Amino acid sequence: MKLIGLTGAIGSGKSSVSQRLAQKGALIIDGDAIAKQLQQKGSPLLEKMVHAFGDVLLPSGELDRQKVAQIVFNDAEKLKQLNGIMHPAINDEIMRQVHEQIDTQQIVVLDMPLLVENPRTGFSALVIVDIDPETAISRLVSHRKMNKDDARKRMSSQATREQRLSVADRVIDNNGELSELQAQIDDLWDWFATLPEAKAGAGSLMQKSK
């Protein structure tokens, strides 16, 4: 198994990259999708969030993600509290899914935010999807209808562009057109063939000591 970490700032387009890698045959482990699954209506984790943050449910009983975002991205302690609730559960599910693939010849891509902020060992390589911060904000406003100030707050809670680039084994530049992105992904896929197998024994994907 070759295990690739894939990350980037909010609005960088890493999901577009992972979708194209999936089309080439990679198995994608999606950290955002795992988080949403764990936060489903009636889940123990959702109950913890209600206990921590109060009324953050929609009338349907589902999580009001916008309300949670308004709380945590305006209060560093609340964001830390949210991470303390979410990260252990997400990590357990990621480890479970990765270990299911250990003995395969599969290229496995862990598409996950905050891999730079919470670095891990065990990857064959770490790929950063890079974008100019102002371009990212413009895309968040136009594509996700996000308020510009909210986009900036979310971005400021993440690692800087320089911090991400400093730890990258490979960088995908997503400042241009889709055709340019696809060409880079084609090259990236060929590069994967040169990588070593992941260190997938006991302790793989453990978070590094800070």
pLDDT tens-digit map of 71-99 = 999 899 999 999 999 999 999 999 999 98
d(CA 56, CA 76): 18
Q: 71: how many CB neighbours lie within 10 A of its CB?
A: 17
Question: Torsion-angle region of residue 11: left (phi > 0), alpha (psi -120 to 50) or beta?
Answer: left
Contact 155, 138 (CB under 8 A): no
CATH number at residue 171: 3.40.50.300
d(CA 79, CA 206): 22
d(CA 110, CA 126): 10
Residue 149 has pLDDT above 50, yes or no: yes
In a domain, residue 50? The reply is yes
d(CA 204, CA 59): 41
In a domain, residue 27? The reply is yes
In a domain, residue 150? The reply is yes
In a domain, residue 206? The reply is no
The predicted model gives 35-56 an average pLDDT of 95
pTM of the complete model beyond 0.95? no
For residue 25, what are its two tokens?
A: 């045959």
- CA dihedral sign of residues 191, 195, 198, 199: negative
**pLDDT value for 79:** 94
**Who has greater pLDDT, 204 or 3?**
3
Q: What mean pLDDT, rounded, does the chain reach?
A: 91
pLDDT tens-digit map of 160-181 = 999 999 999 999 999 998 899 9
Q: Give the pLDDT band of residue 53 (cuts 50, 70, 90).
A: very high
- Containing domain of residue 102, as a range? 2-192
% pLDDT > 90, the chain:
79
d(CA 110, CA 29): 5
% pLDDT > 70, the chain:
94
Residue 203 has pLDDT above 80, yes or no: no
In a domain, residue 147? The reply is yes
In a domain, residue 9? The reply is yes
Q: Give the pLDDT band of residue 204 (cuts 50, 70, 90).
A: low
- Looking at the structure of the chain, the number of domains it has is 1
Q: Give the pLDDT band of residue 209 (cuts 50, 70, 90).
A: very low
Half-sphere exposure of 33 (CA within 13 A, CB side): 9
**pLDDT value for 119:** 86
In a domain, residue 70? The reply is yes
**H-assigned helices in the chain:** 14-24, 31-38, 44-53, 65-72, 76-100, 133-143, 148-156, 161-166, 178-192
In a domain, residue 143? The reply is yes
Tell me phi and psi for residue 43, to 5 degrees. -75, 150
**pLDDT value for 207:** 57
For residue 143, what are its two tokens?
A: 């594509």
d(CA 40, CA 51): 15
